[in-house]
Every structure is written in C-alpha cells, then in structure tokens.
C-alpha cells in the first residue's frame, strides 16, 4: 500500500456506521445497503477502523499483518465463527498514525497478534467483500467525547492520503432490551426512536456541544446507551470531519431488533 497525497476535492469521506452483530450477514436489506454505500465511495487506499469493541489505553494499534480475526462474541451458531476476512495489513498506515499521534503525553502500543474484531470485519465483509483493501484497527483509549473528537481531529490528515476513517458503533445500543424472539424489523421502542431522532436533528444542526453532552441533553440517553462505547466512535468521526462539518448525510437509517442502525457519511 502506498499512501499518496490527494487534493482537497479528492479527500476521503469519514463514516460512522452501525456494524451489527454477526447475524447481520443474514439480513439482505442491511447487507445490500452497506454494499451499495461502499460502491458509491471513492476507492480507499486503506481503511482505519475505530470499533466500539476495542477499548484500550494507551492507544494501541492492531496487527499490521494479516492475522486471524478476533471472534469477540459468544453463544452464536458455529458458522459465524467460520467467517474469514484476510484483508492485507497496513504497516504504512500504522506508521502514519504513529507520526500523527505520538507525543510525550500520548504513548502508542502495538497488539501485533490482535485481528479485526466484529465491529470491524462484519461491515467490511459486506462493503469490501474481496478483502483487498488494507485495514488497520486502533483502540479507543477513552470514552470521553471531547478526547475522542481530538483523536479524530489529529487523524484527519489521513483523509488526504486516501484513507477511509470508519467509526463503527450503533446509534442506539441496549442489548438487554432487545427481544430476539421477534423479527428483526419490529417497531422500535420509544427510547430508541426518541434518541435516534434527537441524534439525527443534532447532527443536522451541527450542534457539536449538544452531542458532546448527549448523556444529559438527549432523551432516554441512559436507556439508549447503558454504556457509551457504541456511541463513542461517532466522536472520532466528527473530529476527523471538523474541517467541513456541514457536508454530512445519513446513508442508512431504520432499526434492527429495535436498535437504530443510522449510519452517517461526512464529506
């Protein structure tokens, strides 16, 4: 992989997407939406993923060579553990990330044996099924919204080198309230639809202050996010897109088992 400098007009967009659980692969609507989205994007030189499923401080880089996936889920059918996604490693991207982030106050660790977790590979299997785009995953070193916005801001120059920055989470995420006995398309509970509507309006209004304070400002925030790790990747995406915050749109909306799958493109 060769990271090349592009013009502002060629700058890669930034994504915040709902990644789904492994059974996402069985949902023809959602998988089709992700595939269509990827086809409409400029082809990236590499993908940098920040997933809700990897919290580690100091910030840690995942494997820069192709290693087995991390099946970080339990209780699913065996076929979900047989999925493979041998995307090329991205050592040059890893070095670019180190240069952008390293400072005396920001040490960076390496996890050379950690493969992509399901927050990374589940959507990428649908978006880039040939596994021919180099992928690097980095950890979330904090759940603090302001700290994650700053992380995204520091990573933003990668967009000018053909890198697609992806924050992978879920717009609402309360698994204890999910009823798996019902079909995946049942009407969402009020707490999920209310939070999703608030987030949609806050994004459209570019109200970063409200988003940063979502635990107090958003309706049903504690129900929508008992823990905030699935909302947190949005802040990395927002930080990486601060140079042109008005250029954003929802690409995927709707619900999956009552959870909002709203996914947003910046740029």
Q: Which domain holds residue 184?
A: 8-266
| pLDDT higher than threshold 70 for residue 81 | yes
In a domain, 253, yes or no: yes
How open is the CA angle 97-152-147, to the nearest 5 degrees?
A: 110
Here the CATH number for the domain that contains residue 204 is 3.40.830.10
In a domain, 1, yes or no: no
Q: Which residue has the higher pLDDT, 9 or 173?
A: 173
The model's pLDDT over 156-174, given as tens digits with 9 standing for 90+, comes to 999 999 999 999 999 999 9
| pLDDT higher than threshold 90 for residue 177 | no
Instruction: Give the rounded percent of residues in the chain with a pLDDT score beyond 90.
Output: 87
In a domain, 3, yes or no: no
| pLDDT higher than threshold 60 for residue 59 | yes
In a domain, 114, yes or no: yes
* Angle, helix 118-127 to helix 28-40, in steps of 10 degrees: 70
Tokens of 214: 């979502």
Query: What is the predicted pLDDT for the residue at 3?
Result: 66
Lowest mean pLDDT among 149-158, 169-178, 216-225, 231-240: 169-178
In a domain, 167, yes or no: yes
Whether this model's pTM surpasses 0.85: yes
| Domains in the chain, number | 1
| pLDDT higher than threshold 90 for residue 243 | no
Give the CA count within 13 Å in the CB-facing half-sphere of 60. Answer: 16
């Amino acid at each position: 992989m060769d990271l090349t400098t592009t013009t502002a007009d060629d700058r890669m967009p930034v994504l915040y997407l709902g990644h789904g659980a492994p059974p996402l692969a069985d949902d023809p609507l959602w998988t089709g939406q992700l595939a269509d989205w990827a086809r409409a994007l400029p082809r990236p030189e590499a993908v940098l993923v920040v997933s809700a499923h990897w919290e580690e401080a100091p910030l840690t880089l995942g494997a820069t060579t192709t290693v087995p996936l991390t099946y970080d889920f339990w209780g699913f059918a065996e076929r979900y553990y047989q999925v493979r996604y041998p995307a090329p490693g991205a050592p040059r991207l890893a070095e670019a990330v180190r240069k952008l982030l390293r400072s005396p106050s920001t040490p960076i660790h390496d996890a050379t044996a950690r493969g992509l977790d399901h927050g990374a590979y589940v959507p990428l299997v649908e978006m880039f099924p040939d596994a021919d785009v180099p992928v690097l995953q980095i950890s979330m070193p904090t759940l603090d919204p302001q700290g994650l916005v700053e992380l995204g801001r520091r990573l933003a120059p990668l967009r000018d080198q053909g890198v697609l920055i992806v924050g992978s989470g879920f717009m609402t995420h309360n698994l204890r309230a999910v009823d798996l006995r019902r079909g995946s398309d049942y009407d969402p509970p009020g707490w999920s639809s209310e939070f999703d509507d608030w987030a949609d309006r806050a994004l459209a209004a570019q109200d970063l202050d409200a988003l940063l304070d979502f635990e107090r400002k958003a309706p049903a925030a504690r129900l929508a996010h008992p823990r905030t790790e699935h909302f947190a990747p949005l802040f990395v995406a927002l930080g990486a897109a601060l140079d042109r915050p008005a250029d954003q749109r929802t690409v995927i909306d709707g619900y999956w088992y009552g959870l909002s799958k709203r996914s947003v493109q910046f740029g």
